Amino acid sequence: MITYKDLIFEISRPGRIGCSLPESDVEAVDLSKKLPAHLIRDEAPELPEVSELQLVRHYTALSNKNHGVDNGFYPLGSCTMKYNPKINEDVARLDGFSRIHPYQPEATVQGALQLLHELQEDLAVITGMDAVTLQPSAGAQGEWTGLMMVKAYHEQKGEKRRKVLVPDSAHGTNPASATVAGFRTVTIPSNENGLVDVEELKKHVDDDTAALMLTNPNTLGLFEKDIVEIAKVIHEAGGLLYYDGANANAILGKTTPGKMGFDIVHLNLHKTFTTPHGGGGPGAGPVGVNKKLIPFLPVPRIEKKNDLFVLNVNEPLSIGRVKGYYGNFGILVRAYTYIRTMGPSGLRQVSESAVLHANYLRKKLEPYFLSPYEQVSKHEFVLSGSKQKKLGVRTLDMAKRLLDFGYHPPTIYFPLNVEECLMIEPTETETKETLDAFADVMIQIAQEVEENPDIVLNAPHTTVIGRLDEVKAARQPMVRYEKETVQT
């Protein structure tokens, strides 16, 4: 095992060097003549001095400590950590896509614009919407973009609607985006079946209602069966229906938000459409709208005019730009590659397998963990650790114990309306053997809770760092290397 003693500062030796630079061919600059005195260091920074091989080993060791979908199962519900095919990377690296500049004249980047235009059209078909913008760089930014269009739509009609309805099972970004867009949010409680309580919803719908934001299947993995009635209630009151499609893994090729009656949809390409996800890397949250909202879409719009692809900035009702240039282009290339390699029948198969995997795993685990809802699951499912909590072991402890077996834990304590929630999304890209092995470990942990709870309460045991003081880590984070404070 690698300890801090092996880390880069400890193995540093004065004068050791990992690269050879050519002799400088410009004159040395006397910094004291160029910079104000207070900006000049008195001493050289204390950087580690190591050989190239030591440096390679250091970064390789760090990368091995990371858990990613390329080195293990990652059933993080709602976040969709499915495999990202490597062909996406090959295509994104093609010179014609990677060595272009956003300020190039349109005529010289017709291929790139064609790809964006075709991706817009594909996503419109997938969502059942009439037009799509690719600009937003995350799901949350897509939500905000959609809500700014909701606002512009009502204001154009001379109405100042201020209320956005959000079910209690919604992702936290929904109320956050609505608030940032200037709305007031009202929480709609779920019923005992985990679905929107339609009677309760009706009580809150009025002529101040700008929109309802809904995830369907919702974050409990359950399909909102009353969606047609819900859409009618909202539309009759003059409101709009917003679809949180961050995770669209259950509906590809099966149905569309358009068919369900939604007016606006955002998708997370970094969840459903296999672009890299996590580590704060670039994402993409395209937004689709139906006809009545097209005038409000962000500019520039990518359009086709007389066989040429052009950037149209001339839309008087547009909410404007929401992102520099045209979105995270490299990510859009990857999602396009995925959609085109799968084709319509491949995408339908994705949803069928995602749903099958979720229900298979749910059935294997139901004898051991409380399963709060009867309705069949879609691409993900929730369990409750409330049986285990009665024995003094929390869902958090079981999540930590999973680390000992090399699994990334599922999402925990979300959605908020399930006690001690575990939210599991196996994804379509895993094999039956992986699902079986994970189920075996979960069952073993449930047995440990009954027979040897300490092993769960003190987990993880095999990771480089054990159980952290999470409050202290959040309140007093130590993000800088300090030799004296590192335990060896």
Query: In what helix (H) or strand (E) does residue 156 lie, and over which residues does it extend?
Result: helix 139-156
Distance of CA 113 to the CA centre of its chain: 25
Q: Of these, 150, 175, 230, 244, which contacts ligand PLP (CB under 6 A)?
A: 244
Q: Sheet containing 411-412: give its strands across.
A: 381-384, 421-424, 411-412
CA angle 107, 268, 253 (to 5 degrees): 90
What is the crossing angle of helices 110-127 and 329-365, to 10°?
Answer: 30
- Min. distance of Cβ 283 from ligand PLP in angstroms? 5
Name the minimum Å distance from CB 267 to ligand PLP. 10
Q: Does 139 bind ligand PLP (CB under 6 A)?
A: yes
Closest CA to 88 of 328, 268, 331: 331
Among 8, 73, 74, 78, binds ligand PLP (CB under 6 A): 78
Least Å distance, CB 172 to ligand PLP, is 8
Nearer to ligand PLP (CB atom), residue 167 or residue 405: 167
Tally of residues, the chain: 488
- What does the per-residue mask of binding to ligand PLP show for 277-306, with x meaning CB under 6 A? ------x-x---------------------
Decide: is 140 part of the binding site for ligand PLP (CB under 6 A).
Answer: yes
Residue 417 has a CB neighbour count (10 Å cut-off) of 16
Q: How far is the CB of 92 from ligand PLP (least distance, A)?
A: 19
Minimum CB distance to ligand PLP smaller for 139 or for 261 = 139
**Least spacing, CB of residue 307 vs ligand PLP, in Å:** 35
Nearest distance, CB of residue 209 and ligand PLP, angstroms:
21
CA angle at residue 64 from 60 to 69, to 5 degrees? 125
In the region spanning residues 109 to 128, those forming contacts with ligand PLP, defined by CB under 6 A, are none
Among 266, 278, 240, smallest CA distance to 134 is for 266
Rounded to 5, what percent of the chain is helix, strand, coil? 40, 10, 50
Site string for ligand PLP, 254-273 (x = CB under 6 A): --------------x-----
Given a contact cutoff of 8 angstroms between Cβ atoms, the answer to whether 332 and 409 are in contact is no
Q: Is 190 in the site for ligand PLP (CB under 6 A)?
A: no
Comparing CB distances to ligand PLP, the nearer of 215 and 388 is: 215
Q: For residue 212, what are the β-bridge partners? A: 165, 241
DSSP 164-205: EEEETTS-THHHHHHHHTTPEEEEEPB-TTSSB-HHHHHHH-
246 is a contact residue toward ligand PLP (CB under 6 A): yes
Quick check: 219 binds ligand PLP (CB under 6 A)? Answer: yes
Choices 134-142, 333-341, 378-386, 399-407; region in contact with ligand PLP by CB under 6 A: 134-142
- Rounded distance, CA 433 to CA 430, Å? 8
Rule CB under 6 A: choose which of 112, 126, 138, 456 binds ligand PLP. 138
Binding part of the chain for ligand PLP, among 89-97, 133-141, 202-210, 286-294 by CB under 6 A, reads 133-141
Residues near ligand PLP (CB under 6 A): 78-79, 138-140, 171, 173, 215, 219, 244, 246-247, 268, 283, 285
